[in-house]
């Protein structure tokens, strides 16, 4: 199955960002993609570059809402699965949220970022309430799709839970800046997660220089053996395509050994899950 990661810059014009996202969706569909995923807050400037204000929080939208309605219609029209990432408003709270839209246009569920970062250029605790939903993987026409939103990818407990919920492809909507990590670790960390858990991992990163952060791009896809099988360029809008052999996942080392040889009763005894 072919997947597509949309790596595009975000201008201050939200409507233009959505318009270009629609164009990218249609282009990826014509190219044969069965799953299309977007970067973190892909249709907005990266609002947490600055501490939250009433004006910036007013940019949040409900799910279902105007953006999901557009992409649900596209998913249905093209019979393609879609993973977005939005600043969600739910009652009095806002979340960093990824709706998973099936190929018939239905929103199967919403994954909300669980671990919330706070640091220079990433003032996220004023924007996001920690995620509160236990379903992280959804059965779609493109396979079992899990989501690890940006900061969540750094937590091995979270990445293992995706495997325990039978994820076949883990989509990672990312906002990764130039120089944020030591050389090589940006990919290596997700390579290890994919290898240890036996799934594909597909990271869709923001790209472009904004007011505070310069987002790197360099989206990539890792296979269940931990190999990078597709990589997007740095500092350039593009659609990254990759073929994923879901039928071959059963032969991965994690499926044959790691997941079968787990000792959860021993971990609980040692309180390693606390």
In which band, very low, low, confident or very high, does the pLDDT at 249 lie, cut at 50, 70 and 90? very high
Q: What percent of the chain has pLDDT over 70?
A: 99
What are the φ/ψ torsions at residue 7 (nearest 5 degrees)? -105, 105
Q: What domains are defined for the chain?
A: 2-270 (3.60.110.10)
Cβ partners under 8 Å of residue 175, min gap 6: 39, 40, 41, 46, 122, 150, 205, 206, 213, 215
Lowest-confidence pick of 26-35, 49-58, 137-146, 262-271: 262-271
Q: What is the pLDDT of residues 48-60, one digit of tens each?
A: 999 999 999 999 9
d(CA 266, CA 80): 42
What per-residue confidence (pLDDT) applies to 181? 77
pLDDT at 9 over 90: yes
Its pTM stands at: 0.96
d(CA 219, CA 175): 10
In which band, very low, low, confident or very high, does the pLDDT at 273 lie, cut at 50, 70 and 90? low
pLDDT at 274 over 90: no
Q: What is the pLDDT of residues 128-173, one digit of tens each?
A: 999 989 999 999 999 999 999 999 999 999 999 999 999 999 999 9
pLDDT at 10 over 70: yes
Cβ partners under 8 Å of residue 149, min gap 6: 40, 85, 96, 97, 98, 111, 112, 113, 172, 173
In this structure, what token pair is assigned to residue 72? 């649900």
Q: What is the pLDDT of residues 68-106, one digit of tens each?
A: 999 999 999 999 999 999 999 999 999 999 999 999 999
In which band, very low, low, confident or very high, does the pLDDT at 272 lie, cut at 50, 70 and 90? low
Cβ partners under 8 Å of residue 21, min gap 6: 6, 8, 38, 42, 43, 71
What per-residue confidence (pLDDT) applies to 183? 78
């Amino acid at each position: 199955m072919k997947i597509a990661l949309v790596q595009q810059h975000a201008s201050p014009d939200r409507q233009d960002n959505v318009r270009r996202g629609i164009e990218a969706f249609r282009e990826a569909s014509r190219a044969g993609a069965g799953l299309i995923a977007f970067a973190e807050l892909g249709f907005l400037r990266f609002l947490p570059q600055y501490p939250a204000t009433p004006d910036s929080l007013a940019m949040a939208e409900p799910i279902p809402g105007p953006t999901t309605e557009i992409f649900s219609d596209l998913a249905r029209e093209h019979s393609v699965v879609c993973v977005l990432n939005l600043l969600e408003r739910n009652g009095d709270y806002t979340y960093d949220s990824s709706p998973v839209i099936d190929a018939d246009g239905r929103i199967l569920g919403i994954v909300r970022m669980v671990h919330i970062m706070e640091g220079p250029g990433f003032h996220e605790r004023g924007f996001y309430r920690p995620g509160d939903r236990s379903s992280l993987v959804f059965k779609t026409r493109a396979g079992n799709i899990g989501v690890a939103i940006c900061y969540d990818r750094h937590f091995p407990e979270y990445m293992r839970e995706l495997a325990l919920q039978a994820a076949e492809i883990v989509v990672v909507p990312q906002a990764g800046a130039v120089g944020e990590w030591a050389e090589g670790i940006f990919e290596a960390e997700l390579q290890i997660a994919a290898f240890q858990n036996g799934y594909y991992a597909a990271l869709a990163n923001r790209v472009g220089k904004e007011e505070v952060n310069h987002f790197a791009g360099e989206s990539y896809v890792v296979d269940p053996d931990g190999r990078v099988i597709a990589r997007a360029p740095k500092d350039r809008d593009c659609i990254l395509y990759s073929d994923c052999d879901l039928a071959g996942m059963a032969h991965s080392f994690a499926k044959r050994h790691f997941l079968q040889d787990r000792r959860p009763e021993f971990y609980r005894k040692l309180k390693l899950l606390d």
